């Protein structure tokens, strides 16, 4: 499978991304921290970069 389907759940508190794995089953994609869910609130500030609410 060269172009797997991807689903995104943008929740009010947490968000999740899932993709279809080579076996044809949905699999939750871990974020850069290894967590399967990511906080939905993000703050961007000019001098301080990006902050995730966790």
What's the pLDDT tens digit per position in 18-42? 999 889 899 999 988 899 998 887 6
Using 50, 70 and 90 to split pLDDT, how confident is the model at 12? confident
Res 54 pLDDT > 60: no
- The rounded distance, in Å, linking the Cα atoms of 22 and 28 is 13
Which H or E run contains 43? strand 42-45
**CB burial of residue 19 (10 Å; 0-12, 13-18, 19+):** middle
Say whether pTM exceeds 0.75.
no
- Locate tokens 């968000």: which residue? 15
Residue 2's contacts (CB-CB under 8 Å, 6 or more residues apart) are none
């Amino acid at each position: 499978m060269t172009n797997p389907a991807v689903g995104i759940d943008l929740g009010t508190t947490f968000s999740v991304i899932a993709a279809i794995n080579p076996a044809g089953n949905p699999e939750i994609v871990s974020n850069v921290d290894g967590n399967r869910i990511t906080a939905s609130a993000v703050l961007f500030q000019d001098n301080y970069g990006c902050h995730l609410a966790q």
